[in-house]
Chain A
Amino acid sequence: MAGNEPSRRRFFRSALVTAAGVLGGGSLLQAERLLAATGLDPDDPEVPNEEVARILQRISGGKPIRRGHVSLDMPLVAEDGRIVPVIIESDLPMTDERYVKAVHLVVDFNPDAHLAAFQLTPAIGSVSISTRIKMKRTTWVRAIAETNTGEIWAAYTRVQVTLNGCG
């Protein structure tokens, strides 16, 4: 993963919050309040739209979604939105006492934003899942891991989509 990722993401986030504030005709505070209301990490790159906010709420049960322990590997640019490779990994333990019980993949502006859920057990030994997905347009993608002890960890990555793969 590129070393400048966090600062790049922070820049995107602040730019998006600013844009949301300006476009919404309201103050910056409004966007910040929306972020706070969803219980998200202030590091969250993108102010979630209403549907994504609902999905995140359902996944997290209102618990804070913290960034870390999960990696989401996707191309920076997806030429063809019909086939975009995804690799989700985590360094969280997979033992009988402590394990990741589910990994969720959320693509903010897809028709079905909650694209996939992977329910796991300690028998899989590690979180290392790969697949291929469709993307409608350029947006952030969220990988969210839920542990059996109730912790919620996430990774975010922005993918630029050239060809709409969702119709």
Chain B
Amino acid sequence: MNPSIGEARIRVPDRVVQGDLIVVNAIISHPMDTGFFRNADGQPIPAYFIKDVVVTYGDREIARFTWTSGISRDPIVSFTVRADREAPLTMVWTDNKNGVFKQSADITFASA
């Protein structure tokens, strides 16, 4: 069973202490077609890829990635965040056909 295009998951640690540097892992299902391949019938497969990823933490944009079709199929990306407050971490992926996909994960602090 293949997940549908744009299905995304974000993983953050569930036991976070305020001020921790946490690792965020994200994956989205997307073909990331380069436009250089052909299908079985010899028809070219048009370029279809995620070109832009915006990461917000609470109401603040903290990172923005500009991608090409050189990123592998079903793109994964991981990066760190300084967990200084309890807020959702949201990612918005936009592809070259204006598909917009959104996912978020809550950063919450472990109670002492």
Residues of A at the B interface (CB closer than 8 Å) are 82-84, 107, 110-112, 114-126, 128-134, 165-167
Asked if B78 and A124 sit within 8 Å, CB to CB, the answer is no
Asked if B60 and A130 sit within 8 Å, CB to CB, the answer is no
Asked if A124 meets B79 with Cβ closer than 8 Å, knowing A116-B66, A116-B67, A116-B70, the reply is: yes
Within 8 A of A (CB), among B2-40: 21, 23, 34, 36-37
Q: When chains A and B are docked, how far (Å) is the Cα of A166 from the Cα of B67?
A: 15
Given A125-B21, A131-B71, A132-B75, 11 extra CB contacts under 8 A: A84-B72, A112-B68, A118-B63, A119-B66, A123-B81, A124-B82, A128-B79, A128-B80, A131-B72, A134-B72, A167-B36
**Interface residues as binary, B77-90 with A (CB distance below 8 Å gives 1, 0 otherwise):** 11111101000000
Chain B residues with CB under 8 Å of A129's CB are 77-79
Q: When chains A and B are docked, how far (Å) is the Cα of A111 from the Cα of B61?
A: 30
Q: Is B73 an interface residue (CB 8 A)?
A: yes
Chain B residues with CB under 8 Å of A166's CB are 34, 36, 70
Across the interface, B62 reaches (CB within 8 A) one of A114, A117, A124, A130, namely A124
Chain A residues with CB under 8 Å of B75's CB are 131-132
B83 CB to nearest A CB, Å = 9
Asked if A123 meets B60 with Cβ closer than 8 Å, knowing A134-B34, A166-B34, A167-B37, the reply is: yes
Q: When chains A and B are docked, how far (Å) is the Cα of A144 from the Cα of B61?
A: 22
Asked if B70 and A121 sit within 8 Å, CB to CB, the answer is no
Q: When chains A and B are docked, how far (Å) is the Cα of A130 from the Cα of B78?
A: 5
Asked if B61 and A115 sit within 8 Å, CB to CB, the answer is no
Chain B residues with CB under 8 Å of A116's CB are 65-68, 70-71
Q: Is B100 an interface residue (CB 8 A)?
A: no
Q: When chains A and B are docked, how far (Å) is the Cα of A133 from the Cα of B79?
A: 16
Asked if B68 and A114 sit within 8 Å, CB to CB, the answer is yes
Asked if B70 and A117 sit within 8 Å, CB to CB, the answer is no
Asked if A83 meets B72 with Cβ closer than 8 Å, knowing A121-B63, A166-B36, the reply is: yes
Asked if A125 and B82 sit within 8 Å, CB to CB, the answer is yes
A123 CB to nearest B CB, Å = 4
B109 CB to nearest A CB, Å = 16
CB-CB nearest in chain B for A115? B70
Chain B residues with CB under 8 Å of A114's CB are 68
A165 CB to nearest B CB, Å = 8
Asked if A117 and B66 sit within 8 Å, CB to CB, the answer is yes
Asked if A134 meets B70 with Cβ closer than 8 Å, knowing A129-B78, A166-B34, A167-B34, the reply is: yes
CB-CB nearest in chain A for B68? A112
Across the interface, B21 reaches (CB within 8 A) one of A82, A117, A126, A132, namely A126
